[in-house]
Amino acid sequence: MASSDLGTVGPYELLLQLAKGGMAEVFIARRAPVAEAESGGAGAAAAAGGAGLEREPLVAVKRIRADLQYESSYAEMLFDEAGIASRVASPHFVPVLDYGLDERGAPYIVMELVVGVTLKHLTRASEALGVGDAIELIAQAAEGLHAAHEARDSAGELLQVIHRDISPSNVLVAVDGRASICDLGLAYALRRTTRTKTGMVKGKLSYFSPEQAHAWPLDRRSDVFSLGVVAWEVLAGRRLFGGSSMVSTLHAVLQREVPPLSNEREGVGQAVSAAVARALERDRDARWPTAADFARALRAAAEREGHAASRAAVGARVAEVLPPPLKPLAPSYGPGGPRVTKETIAALPSLCAAGAAGEGDAGGILPGAPRRPSRG
């Protein structure tokens, strides 16, 4: 097939823009086929490129936006993210596979391509996630988060990673029904080169922990609180700490009463409600001490209340809401990313023509979950 008009980054050919954010843009990519001159002409190049593609998965390439590529601070942030993420090992954390500088000296990182949607996207569907499925997805995300918290350097010392931006937009759910934490762009680590400037706000305010809202020193329990907010919202089917302004949102984080989930969602009992409530304790000493503890508590509560999870059902639901440009990749998706088959090679021109497949990050109310009848 013809090369993409999006060009190359290092040894990777860009095929489709997935998303574009404040600092970076993300593409579906593949290792560039063998050059014609090195392989005996166009026919040989196509054959060699096709054979190589079928041995390697498609990947996601994240690079600094073109207008920011010469800003040294952004380059340092991207390499910091790559260095931290490459130390995290979990099936529930999107791994970094490679990173480097392109021909113009601009940094890029290469990640596993997750064929799926964000938890934010998934919970916008007309029907709420089942209680068991929602709990299992949050528990998987908690496991991925714990793996990041436990990341160590080459000497075995904890990097003391804090994600700082846990939200439904940073939990990916794949067509195989698996949830993964992504995006360490705002993460803190003890040995990170770049640092947040005093007074700068990092992360999404409605998912801040109280200590983030106060600009106090953070530890991993801050991320546990943020994931607790996500869990509450996914199960309740509505926002918890939304506000009309920065001040009102932060005030909600610090002061608004958190209704018990058992009052919000039909079928949610005291065990699940208590597990999430402990993650949302404003006193961090009263919270679950680790994300792994939160995951175990959620699963134990689900079992106690009889909430079953179906990975196949979650995967089928993801496939239904998958953006059209990504649908051809779903059948070949597996561990490590989607394998390129003859069918996906044939579909690549249409993927390129379809343009960006990413979703915007505009706020929105989650769809209504089955609510518990009023007690009044």
Question: How far apart are the C-alpha atoms of 201 and 203, rounded to whole Å?
Answer: 7
Question: How far apart are the C-alpha atoms of 168 and 271, rounded to whole Å?
Answer: 23
DSSP annotation of 126: S
CB 148 within 8 A of CB 95: no
- Report the alpha-carbon angle 73-160-184, nearest 5: 45
Respond yes or no: is residue 165 known to be catalytic.
yes
DSSP annotation of 243: -
Q: For residue 227, count other CB atoms closer than 10 A to its CB.
A: 28
Q: Which of 80, 102, 165, 176 is catalytic?
A: 165
Q: What are phi and psi of 49, to 5 degrees?
A: -65, -40
Question: How far apart are the C-alpha atoms of 299 and 302, rounded to whole Å?
Answer: 5
CB 39 within 8 A of CB 48: yes
DSSP annotation of 335: T
Question: How far apart are the C-alpha atoms of 287 and 280, rounded to whole Å?
Answer: 7
Q: What are phi and psi of 110, to 5 degrees?
A: -115, 125
Torsion of CA 68, 71, 76, 77, to 10 degrees: -40
Buried/exposed 255-267: b ≥16 CB within 10 Å, e otherwise: eeeeebbbebbeb
What is the maximum span of the chain, computed from C-alpha positions, in angstroms? 79
Question: How far apart are the C-alpha atoms of 11 and 354, rounded to whole Å?
Answer: 24
- Nearby residues of 360 by Cβ (< 8 Å), 6 or more positions away: none
| Residues tagged active-site | 165
